[in-house]
């Protein structure tokens, strides 16, 4: 990381609303370190003075996530962190969900992708405020990005705030954003062994949504096996099955979202 500017290498993270023009790239400083780091580093770890540290590696993220959580709670905002492989149908599920819920409660969406404004634009087209975080080469959202995003996004009191994480079933499992819970989404085209291959994510989530069930006749996806594998890694997981395309199964998911708000 960059010690001189303390910027934590987030130069390539961009946060913006769909209706804004591209900001100038963040090039406020370059990374030439003229402070004599060029010495030879052939140290043996045997010498020197030992300092006890005993600090959680994720402590900074966890602190910021705690701040986000307290801020959400103070304003009655409930945040959900949606995680899945790329293309499993997160944005489509959100579009269909928001269309129905937007007359019932205040909503807002934070979209995370490495590149493009596509998903935030799709959400704003539904009439719900959205902000896009482009992580550049980063593979997950972190709590700092969320706290910066909510400064720019109008999140009304008592909103349901959906955070669509970067499509990735590995890294987002480790990073608390301040959410109420993680919702893992698995589409029937991905194979039913995903909970076995990516147990960390299924462990970290409280809710699983099996999507694209309209495609079940065309794929060899054993939905009961998928569910039992998911429950094996996480016996407390609550599972919904639905098709965002046909709407089948959406009612139970929507009722669960309403129950959070009730």
Ligand X SMILES: Nc1nc2c(ncn2[C@@H]2O[C@H](COP(=O)(O)OP(=O)(O)OP(=O)(O)O)[C@@H](O)[C@H]2O)c(=O)[nH]1
User: Considering the rule CB under 8 A, would residue 170 count as an interface residue with other proteins?
Assistant: yes
126 binds, among Mg ion, other proteins, ligand X, none (CB under 5 to 8 A by kind): none
Phi-psi region of 223 (alpha: psi -120 to 50; beta: other; left: phi over 0): alpha
CA 130 – CA 215 distance, rounded (Å): 29
User: Considering the rule CB under 8 A, would residue 157 count as an interface residue with other proteins?
Assistant: no
* Partner residues linked to 164 by β-bridges: 82, 111
What is the pattern of x (binds Mg ion, CB under 5 A) and - over residues 89-118? -xx---------------------------
- In the set 1, 21, 24, 262, which binds other proteins (CB under 8 A)? 1
CA 93 – CA 116 distance, rounded (Å): 19
Q: Is 142 helix (H, G, I), strand (E, B) or coil?
A: coil
Residues 6+ apart with CB under 8 A from 252: 240, 242
- In the set 20, 63, 76, 86, which binds ligand X (CB under 6 A)? 86
- In the set 99, 102, 118, 139, which binds other proteins (CB under 8 A)? 139
CA 69 – CA 182 distance, rounded (Å): 13
- In the set 21, 24, 28, 53, which binds other proteins (CB under 8 A)? 53
Which C-beta is closer to other proteins: that of 27 or that of 59? 59
CA 229 to the chain's CA centroid: 23
Restricted to residues 159-178, the positions that interact with Mg ion (CB under 5 A) are none
User: Considering the rule CB under 6 A, would residue 119 count as an interface residue with ligand X?
Assistant: yes
Residues 6+ apart with CB under 8 A from 231: 237, 239
- In the set 13, 88, 96, 119, which binds Mg ion (CB under 5 A)? 119
Residue 61: CB minimum distance to other proteins, A: 8
List residues near Mg ion by CB under 5 A. Answer: 90-91, 119
């Amino acid at each position: 990381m960059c010690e001189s500017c303390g910027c934590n290498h987030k130069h390539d993270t961009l946060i913006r609303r769909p209706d804004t023009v591209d900001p100038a790239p963040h090039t406020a400083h370059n990374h030439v370190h003229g402070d004599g780091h060029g010495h030879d580093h052939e140290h043996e770890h045997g010498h020197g003075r030992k300092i006890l540290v005993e600090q959680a590696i994720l402590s900074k993220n966890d602190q910021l996530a705690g701040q986000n959580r307290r801020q959400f709670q103070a304003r009655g905002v409930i945040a959900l962190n949606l995680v899945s492989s790329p293309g499993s149908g997160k944005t489509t599920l959100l579009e269909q969900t928001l269309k129905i819920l937007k007359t019932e409660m205040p909503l807002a969406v934070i979209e995370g992708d490495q590149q493009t404004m596509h998903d935030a634009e799709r959400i704003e087209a539904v009439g719900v405020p959205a902000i896009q975080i482009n992580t550049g080469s980063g593979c997950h959202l972190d709590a700092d990005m969320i706290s910066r995003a909510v400064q720019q996004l109008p999140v009304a009191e008592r909103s349901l705030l959906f955070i669509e994480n970067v499509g990735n079933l590995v890294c987002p499992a480790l990073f608390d954003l301040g959410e109420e819970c993680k919702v893992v989404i698995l589409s029937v085209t991905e194979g039913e062994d995903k909970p076995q291959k990516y147990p960390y994510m299924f462990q970290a989530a409280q809710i699983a949504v099996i999507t694209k069930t309209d495609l079940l006749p065309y794929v060899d996806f054993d939905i009961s096996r998928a569910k039992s594998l998911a429950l094996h890694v996480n016996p407390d997981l609550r599972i919904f099955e639905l098709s965002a395309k046909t709407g089948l199964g959406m009612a139970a998911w929507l009722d669960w979202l309403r129950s959070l708000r009730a």
